[in-house]
Chain A
Amino acid sequence: MNPSLKLALVVLIALEISFTQVWTVNVALIVISLVILGLNRIHIRTLVWLTVVPLFFASALIWSLMLRGNATPHFLIVLFTRMFVYVYLGATFTQTTVPLELTRSLEQNAKLPAKFAYGFLAAFNLFPKIKAEVATVHAAAMMRGQVLHFWSPQLYFKVILTAMNWSDQLASAMMSHGFVEWAPRTYAINVPLRTRDWVIFGASLLLVQIGLFIGLP
């Protein structure tokens, strides 16, 4: 499915179930997501991770509401299942979409300005370096006799300076590779937006509406 439409679909559904209280639809969405994840051969370890963590938090939230609140059992079930819809729905999107595809699609189909699409992508690709940098900053400070905690201003100061430095370098490099913010570009790879995509999009939304409003529990 077209990545932009897929993103819109996932966000719309997530938004809708945040404000409605039909647990059967939640369960149906969980099942559908799991089927899609299964068809895409998700790693068992990822799936376990995606299940155990929300299980803990959802249970803790329910427990807390039972102890401190006055919610009905029906509402608790809705809340519990809702957490899993969020997680699995998000996973169906991320497991079937590569950031680059999404970027290309947003640029071509959703007419997102290229500066946003590629600026985001350039930073995203720096992720391994950013991760290593946080460890480096901690270690380097310790070698100077200082321990940085997550509440130390110096930690963020260093991180922001690094971010500024890298963003300057990346932006210069993009310019040097011929990128101009408002200039037209050609596309090496075209991302199609087919009728089929629209049909899936419309049908899925319609199904969710029907589920939500025919009076299921």
Chain B
Amino acid sequence: MATVNIEHLTYAPDHQDPVLKDLTATFLGGRFSLLTGPSGSGKTTLLRLIAGLTPLPTGATLTFNGQPLAAQSPQQRSQTVALLFQEPSTQFTMDTVTNELRFALENQQVSPAAMPGKIDAALAFVGITDLRDRNLMQLSGGEQQKVALAIIVAMDSDVILLDEPFASIDPATRQTLLDRLVKLCRDQGKTIILADHDLSGYAQWIDHLTVLHAGQVTTLSVAATQARLAAFTPERLQLTHVQLPTAQDKSCFEAKGFGLSQNDRTLILPEDLPLLTHKTTLITGPNGSGKSTFFRSLVRLGRYQGTITYQGRDIQRIRRRTYARHVSLMFQSATAQFLNVTVAEELALSQRYGNATYFTPDRIQAALAQLDLSGRDEQIIYSLSSGQQKKLQLLCMLMMAPEVLLLDEPFKGLDLNSIQAALTLLTTTQRDLDLTLIIISHQLGGLSPYVDYHLDLAHQQLTYQGVTA
């Protein structure tokens, strides 16, 4: 059980304005702390400092049970504190689950004889014994996060830091991971600090919310915490307006005998499926079920069985360049979509090739204000916080105004206000320009009024869901 104590922490990246200002905070040993705060408030920065991944600035002190990290040998450090990252796939060194666990234990100089026992116990604790010989790159994001947690369990770290670990995790997996974390806290006295924007599912575990704002950490009272968490009730996650498609509804895509597989594993069994034009369709489904792979087939970035037609033509027969302008994908990673250096250049590019008659300079300025991005024209894209990048990416893709816009987790890592702004912008543009939107999202809060159809990918099948009133 280790208490984390931070005093006088002021941190400014690269001669910029400080992100953390004389921050003082205590995270009690054996407790579960939930850290939240607007996009760009410095959560990632703070967690990396605590984990020792960013060197501590002079004048600041950081102690674990009164001991600074520097006083410990490197091998002990990973037993004191470990960080679980937001991006699931770039946190492993080895090829398979077992080998990665071995790698971590080798680093801690555990004797080879003691390794199998520790590995078995950690896998069993997280409930992923069946994954032990799987290749890490072939696991879904949710499974990868479970493996990452198993490694921390095996390393037996006292303080566990998690930076938006559930950002791309389906609700069911999120629940199991959360249960495991709480169990670690309760049974093994681990100190857990978790950063998240989506506060649903925490109400029963959290009394005091920790908020990072204006460079300072404040702990909310029980009443204020309850008020914040109340915005994330289960009811908000219900989709109340979705209908089943009828014969009258026109479709833009028609998939015939469409099936998907990946490395000999079937993701989607062959089926016929229409996707409806000028509407908003939401696609949900567990991690690794094949949603992103489905999108990649729609934009011809992967193999599939059967045929897909777009407005009556086989998509494989349309010229690539033309097709890319009719059907576009907002990729899961924001930076994939950018081509230039500054925000202004990026907007100019979209204006040049996109729908400039609708997106007049005035309208762009209004949209930027809505998304809280104004005044950043000359900022370098890559120095924006991850939330800001996501919002800029959304605006750039909307300005291209393709007939069909596919959005792969557009709300990932956004706070509540940003999601609201993004949704408003999406739906007004869609209405005015008659676009077709198809959205993959794990995060359902607040989507209900905007979604016309709901496709669920489960048991290797995409099926439309209707509300039975």
Q: Do chains A and B touch in the complex (CB under 8 A)?
A: yes
A: residues with CB less than 8 A from B are: 99-100, 118, 121-122, 125-126, 128-129, 133, 135-137, 139-147, 154, 158, 161-162, 165-166, 169-170, 172-180, 183-190
**B104 part of interface (Cβ distance < 8 Å):** yes
Given contacts A143-B328, A144-B350, A186-B110, A178 and B75 within 8 Å (CB-CB): yes
Q: Which residues of A contact B320 (CB under 8 A)?
A: 142
Q: Is the CB of A188 within 8 A of B74?
A: no
What would 8 more interface pairs be, CB under 8 Å, given A125-B94, A158-B339? A136-B301, A141-B339, A143-B325, A143-B397, A166-B90, A176-B82, A179-B93, A186-B111
Which residues of B (388-408) have their CB < 8 Å from a CB of A?
396-397, 400, 402
Given contacts A136-B336, A169-B87, A185-B109, A143 and B93 within 8 Å (CB-CB): no
Can you report 5 residue pairs joining A to B where beta carbons are below 8 Å apart? A122-B93, A170-B91, A174-B93, A180-B75, A180-B107
Q: Which residues of B contact A99 (CB under 8 A)?
A: 95
Partner of B353, one of A144, A173, A175, A176: A144
**B15 part of interface (Cβ distance < 8 Å):** no
**B136 part of interface (Cβ distance < 8 Å):** yes
A158 nearest in chain B by CB position: B339
Q: Is the CB of A125 within 8 A of B95?
A: yes
Q: Is the CB of B115 within 8 A of A188?
A: yes
Q: In the docked arrangement, what's the CA distance between A176 and B51, Å?
A: 8
Q: Is the CB of B85 within 8 A of A143?
A: no
Q: How far is the CB of A149 from chain B (nearest CB, A)?
A: 13
**B450 part of interface (Cβ distance < 8 Å):** no
Q: How far is the CB of B103 from chain A (nearest CB, A)?
A: 7
Q: Is the CB of A137 within 8 A of B336?
A: yes
**B83 part of interface (Cβ distance < 8 Å):** yes
**B461 part of interface (Cβ distance < 8 Å):** no
1/0 per position for B356-389, CB-CB distance to A under 8 A? Answer: 0000000000000000000000000010000000
Q: In the docked arrangement, what's the CA distance between A205 and B28, Å?
A: 64
**B317 part of interface (Cβ distance < 8 Å):** no
Q: Which residues of A contact B94 (CB under 8 A)?
A: 100, 121-122, 125
A188 nearest in chain B by CB position: B102
Q: In the docked arrangement, what's the CA distance between A100 and B331, Å?
A: 32
Q: Is the CB of A142 within 8 A of B321?
A: yes
A-B contacts counted at CB < 8 A amount to 152
Q: Which residues of A contact B354 (CB under 8 A)?
A: 145
Q: Which residues of A contact B51 (CB under 8 A)?
A: 176
Q: In the docked arrangement, what's the CA distance between A175 and B458, Å?
A: 37
Most A Cβ at <10 Å: residue of B52, B115, B338: B338
**B155 part of interface (Cβ distance < 8 Å):** yes
Q: Is the CB of B335 within 8 A of A165?
A: yes
Q: Which residues of B contact A190 (CB under 8 A)?
A: 112
Q: In the docked arrangement, what's the CA distance between A135 and B303, Å?
A: 13
A127 nearest in chain B by CB position: B137
Q: Which residues of A contact B265 (CB under 8 A)?
A: none
B: residues with CB less than 8 A from A are: 48, 51-53, 74-75, 77-78, 82-85, 87, 89-95, 99-100, 102-112, 115, 136-137, 151, 155, 299-301, 320-321, 324-325, 328-329, 331, 335-339, 349-350, 352-354, 382, 396-397, 400, 402
Q: How far is the CB of A123 from chain B (nearest CB, A)?
A: 9
Q: Is the CB of B104 within 8 A of A142?
A: no
Most B Cβ at <10 Å: residue of A140, A158, A174: A140
Given contacts A100-B99, A177-B107, A169 and B74 within 8 Å (CB-CB): no
Partner of A142, one of B93, B109, B136, B324: B324
Q: Which residues of B contact A176 (CB under 8 A)?
A: 51, 53, 78, 82-85, 91
Q: Which residues of B contact A188 (CB under 8 A)?
A: 102, 105-106, 112, 115
Q: In the docked arrangement, what's the CA distance between A128 and B102, Å?
A: 23
Q: Is the CB of B321 within 8 A of A121?
A: no
Given contacts A144-B400, A145-B325, A161-B382, A126 and B301 within 8 Å (CB-CB): no
Given contacts A142-B320, A178-B104, A173 and B93 within 8 Å (CB-CB): yes
Partner of A129, one of B91, B100, B137, B382: B137
Q: Is the CB of A177 within 8 A of B151?
A: yes
Q: In the docked arrangement, what's the CA distance between A145 and B300, Å?
A: 16
Q: Is the CB of B93 within 8 A of A121?
A: yes
Q: Is the CB of B400 within 8 A of A145?
A: yes
Q: Which residues of A contact B382 (CB under 8 A)?
A: 161
Q: In the docked arrangement, what's the CA distance between A180 and B72, Å?
A: 13
Q: In the docked arrangement, what's the CA distance between A142 and B318, Å?
A: 14
Q: Which residues of B contact A173 (CB under 8 A)?
A: 85, 90-93
Q: Is the CB of A177 within 8 A of B104?
A: yes
Most B Cβ at <10 Å: residue of A170, A186, A189: A186
Q: In the docked arrangement, what's the CA distance between A180 and B108, Å?
A: 9
Q: Which residues of A contact B52 (CB under 8 A)?
A: 175
Q: Is the CB of B350 within 8 A of A118?
A: no
Q: Is the CB of B107 within 8 A of A178?
A: yes
A143 nearest in chain B by CB position: B328
Most A Cβ at <10 Å: residue of B84, B99, B102, B106: B106
B299 nearest in chain A by CB position: A139
Q: In the docked arrangement, what's the CA distance between A156 and B354, Å?
A: 24
Q: Is the CB of A186 within 8 A of B91?
A: no
Q: Is the CB of B93 within 8 A of A178?
A: no
Q: In the docked arrangement, what's the CA distance between A143 and B407, Å?
A: 13
Q: In the docked arrangement, what's the CA distance between A173 and B77, Å?
A: 14
Q: Which residues of B contact A186 (CB under 8 A)?
A: 105-106, 109-112
Most A Cβ at <10 Å: residue of B52, B90, B109: B90
Q: Is the CB of A178 within 8 A of B155?
A: yes
B87 nearest in chain A by CB position: A169
Q: Is the CB of A185 within 8 A of B107?
A: yes
B151 nearest in chain A by CB position: A177
Q: Which residues of B contact A169 (CB under 8 A)?
A: 85, 87, 90-91
B263 nearest in chain A by CB position: A128
Q: Which residues of A contact B105 (CB under 8 A)?
A: 186, 188
Given contacts A142-B321, A177-B78, A183-B74, A125 and B92 within 8 Å (CB-CB): yes
Q: In the docked arrangement, what's the CA distance between A190 and B151, Å?
A: 22
Q: In the docked arrangement, what's the CA distance between A165 and B91, Å?
A: 12
Q: How far is the CB of A51 from chain B (nearest CB, A)?
A: 27
Q: Is the CB of A187 within 8 A of B112?
A: yes
B84 nearest in chain A by CB position: A176
Q: Is the CB of B85 within 8 A of A172?
A: yes
B102 nearest in chain A by CB position: A188
